[in-house]
Amino acid sequence: MKRDVRILLLGEPKVGKTSLIMSLVGEEFPEEVPPRAEEITIPADVTPERVPTHIVDYSEAEQSEDVMREEIVKANVVCLVYDVTEEATIEKIRTKWIPLINGGAEKGNKIPVILVGNKSDLQPGSSMESILPIMNQFSEIETCVECSAKNLKNISELFYYAQKAVLHPTAPLYDPENKQLRQQCVRALSRIFTISDQDNDGILSDDELNFFQKACFGNPLAPQALEDVKNVVWKNTSDGVQDNGLTLNGFLFLNTLFIQRGRHETTWTILRKFGYDDSLELTDDYLYPQLRVPLGSSTELNHNGYRFLQKLFEKYDVDKDGALSRLDIKNFFTVVPYMPWGEDVFTTVSTDENDYISLHGYLCQWTLTAYLDIHRCLEYLGYFGYPFISEQESQTAAVTVTQNKLEDLEKKQTQRNVFLCKVIGPRGTGKSSFLQAFLGKSLSKQKSSTGLLSYYTINTVHVNNQEKYLILYEVDVDTEFLKTSDAACDVACLMYDVSDPKSFNYCASIYKNVVIISPQQHYMDSGIPCVFVASKSDLTEQKQQHGLSPSEFCYKHRLPPPLAFSCSGPEMPSTVIYSKLALAAMFPHLNGSELTASSFWLRVTLGAAVVTLLGFTFYRAFIKQK
């Protein structure tokens, strides 16, 4: 919305321009007026729309045509004054003034005009008959008003209309020639309808209408008013009301009606509530609310965010099978102007047996977006109408910026829920398989699926009875680790292939030679926990060419011994290793020099043993029952 309004009065000499301004300001009719009133500024708090308003007079006797043209360029709206008793001053509107004001302007860029018939005190009848054809001819004429500077009739109204024409312009919303909403406006209102139709049945129920009314205008509709609204729509449209609710067509009709009755501020209030600017684009302020993420902090969705996203999932899971099919996903994103998810989503999160995205996978994907690109995430939430549905100021209410990692390290505990693990290893070690196995896919299952493989996978793991998100990222072999960010993560997973004697060399060199921050620093002393993983453990182990064996290497560097991993069996790959990675990410201090490697891994292995034991007991109880 504009921050101030500049109103210019134009028209033939002696029609009463100066008198109108003086009457407004002095609240009485001045018998004597100068040819031209000084420019006046009305402070925001005394104007009806609460914006500072400048009123500018024009006098042919005092000002050249060039000066007038300059004033036209500066003006936001022109009040074109005529004398209701002088037909000639009306004729000049068409022949002289409108061409002068908007003659050179492109369609859509025209300055709005308000026709003002002054001296109505001198004439009992109305000038409407001569004015209507002019209004029909020029679409930039917002409205007309008859007034009198002498008996102060309609003076404040006139300036109110002028203000409104600037703050709530009709042109972007409505095409007066075809008497219908413009395409862009239909698109915006359709998005608003989709968001407001919270149960996705294509109809705004009474509850949904009330919620909408309250969010946009601050108060619910009285029951009778609600019925009246539906009645008007029902009487005037064939399909505007269905099952006692408003359809999209009904909603569009209602807005057309507001505009046709000069109440377009109503439609503007709705549009602005949903983030639109004067040209019906979503504003940057709305889509990209400010969020400061200091170095060392990460971004996560909080319970507000998850609650909103879960509701959205349920809305689009039309057949209530707990999963989104490809079609569901397409419908899901209709309010976003482009498709944010590519095919790689299906290899980033776990899917169900139909290869649909389950609620779990869906929340994982959102968690990943929030972690990797919070601004994108806020943008999407904006498209989905988060502030409206959640009744919050902005999308930032859906995210948490975590405490700096260094502080966590100092306190030896963390509130974070999402951790990033970089998986590093030579070509062909089985990094991608390791990532896919995290989604529960064994090697044979991976081979049967054809989709594009993602560089990321994300899933939840249990660490000390808490559920945490772990992101795995497969680092390209050619990465040179030149920047700090190349190596930065919560845990590094260094993977070598037990069946390939050369492969440990690569991991060892990355561990020792990686350039982080400065050439002197390596993963070795970066403070990032490192875990070595011995992949393809189902194959015969070959002696590694590296001087030390992997176990010796780890012992020497006070690291936990390599963890064996294989996903070759037909069954679901074990998740234990991922929990261990998450554990190392959560408690980086345990991996450091202050604790010996053995005591750290003793805890982990003990934990795992307890789980196995419990599992066994449960199994026995189960057998007995049978």
Q: What does the binding site for ligand GTP look like in residue numbers (CB under 6 A)?
A: 13-19, 33, 35, 59-61, 118-119, 121-122, 148-150
Q: How far is the CB of 159 from ligand GTP (least distance, A)?
A: 15
Instruction: Give least dist CB 83 to ligand GTP, A.
Output: 8
Q: Are 583 and 604 in contact (CB under 8 A)?
A: yes
Q: How far is the CB of 101 from ligand GTP (least distance, A)?
A: 16
Is residue 170 part of the contact set for Mg ion (CB under 5 A)? Answer: no
What span, in angstroms and rounded, lies between the C-alpha atoms of 220 and 230?
A: 15
Query: Where in 495-534 is the site for Mg ion (CB under 5 A)?
Result: none
* Residue from 5, 7, 10, 18 binding Mg ion (CB under 5 A): 18
Residue tagged 């939430």 (tokens):
381
Task: Please say which residue, 15 or 508, places its beta carbon nearer to ligand GTP.
Answer: 15
Nearer to ligand GTP, 56 or 378 (CB): 56
| 3 state DSSP class of 189 | helix
Residue placing its CB nearer to ligand GTP in the complex, 19 or 139: 19
Candidates 530, 519, 525, 528; CA nearest to 482 is 519
Output the six-digit token pair for 362. 């869906």
Instruction: Check binding of 63 to Mg ion (CB under 5 A).
Output: no
Distance of CA 496 to the CA centre of its chain: 41
Toward ligand GTP, which CB reaches closer, 119 or 546?
Answer: 119
Rank residues 59 and 237 by Cβ distance to ligand GTP and give the closer one: 59
How many Cβ atoms sit within 10 Å of the Cβ of residue 247? 20
Q: Which does 119 bind (CB under 5 to 8 A by kind): ligand GTP, Mg ion, none?
A: ligand GTP
Q: How many residues does the chain have?
A: 626
Contact 573, 430 (CB under 8 A): no
Tell me which of Mg ion, ligand GTP, none is bound by residue 34, counting a contact when its beta carbon lies within the kind-specific cut-off of 5 to 8 angstroms. none
Q: Whole-number minimum distance, CB 8 to ligand GTP, in Å?
A: 13
List the x/- string, 25-54, binding to Mg ion by CB under 5 A. Answer: ----------x-------------------
Nearest-CA neighbor of 83 among 155, 162, 13? 13
Minimal distance, residue 277 CB to Mg ion, in Å: 36
**Residue 151 vs 509, nearer CB to ligand GTP:** 151
Shortest approach of ligand GTP to residue 138 CB, angstroms?
21
Q: Report the residue number, 14 or 187, with the smaller CB distance to ligand GTP.
A: 14
- Closest separation between CB of residue 80 and ligand GTP, Å? 11
Residues in Cβ contact with 261 at an 8 Å cutoff, skipping those fewer than 6 apart: none
Diameter over CA atoms, the chain: 110
The binder of 369, among ligand GTP, Mg ion, none, by C-beta within 5 to 8 A per type, is none
Q: Which does 293 bind (CB under 5 to 8 A by kind): ligand GTP, Mg ion, none?
A: none
Instruction: Tell me the residue ranges of DSSP E strands in 475-579.
Output: 491-497, 530-535, 563-564
Span near Mg ion by CB under 5 A; candidates 12-20, 72-80, 450-458, 547-555? 12-20
* Residue 557 binding partner per list Mg ion, ligand GTP, none, with a CB distance cut-off of 5 to 8 Å that depends on partner kind: none
Query: Least Å distance between CB 92 and ligand GTP?
Result: 12
Smallest distance from ligand GTP to CB 32, Å: 8
Rounded CA separation 119/152 (Å): 10
Nearest residue (CB) to Mg ion, 16 versus 607:
16
Q: Report in angstroms how near the CB of residue 35 gets to Mg ion at its nearest.
A: 5
User: What are the beta bridge partners of residue 460?
Assistant: 469
Q: Structure tokens of 79?
A: 């009040």
The b-or-e profile of 314-339 (16+ CB within 10 A means b, else e) is: ebbbeeeeebbbeebbeebbebeeee
The 8-class DSSP code of residue 212 comes to H
Beta-sheet pairing, 5-11 with 113-118 = unpaired
Instruction: Evaluate whether 534 touches 562 at the Cβ level (below 8 Å).
Output: yes
> Which residue, 35 or 52, is less far from ligand GTP as judged by CB?
35
How many other C-beta atoms lie within 10 A of the C-beta of residue 568?
A: 15
516 binds, among ligand GTP, Mg ion, none (CB under 5 to 8 A by kind): none
Return the HEC string of 463-499: ECCEEEEEEEEECCCCCCCCCHHHHCCCEEEEEEECC
Chain centre distance of CA 314: 19
Interacting partner of 323 out of ligand GTP, Mg ion, none (Cβ under 5 to 8 A depending on kind): none
Nearer to ligand GTP, 19 or 255 (CB): 19
Judged by CB under 5 A, does residue 59 bind Mg ion?
A: yes
Between the CA atoms of 247, 248, 249 and 255, what dihedral angle is there, to the nearest 10 degrees? 110
Cβ-based nearer residue to ligand GTP, 22 or 491: 22
DSSP-based three-state secondary structure for 430? coil
Cα distance between residue 598 and residue 152, in whole Å: 92
For Mg ion, how many residues bind (rule: CB under 5 A)? Answer: 4
d(CA 422, CA 490): 8
Whole-number Å distance between alpha carbons of 42 and 33: 20
Nearest residue (beta carbon) to ligand GTP: 16
Find residue 78's DSSP bridge partners: 8, 113
Measured from the CB atom, the residue of 16 and 529 that comes closer to Mg ion is 16
d(CA 496, CA 21): 84
Choose among Mg ion, ligand GTP, none what residue 19 binds, the Cβ cut-off being 5 to 8 Å by kind. Answer: ligand GTP
Residue 122 touches which member of ligand GTP, Mg ion, none, C-beta under 5-8 Å by kind: ligand GTP
Give min distance, CB of 30 to ligand GTP, in A.
8
Rule CB under 5 A: which residues touch Mg ion? 17-18, 35, 59
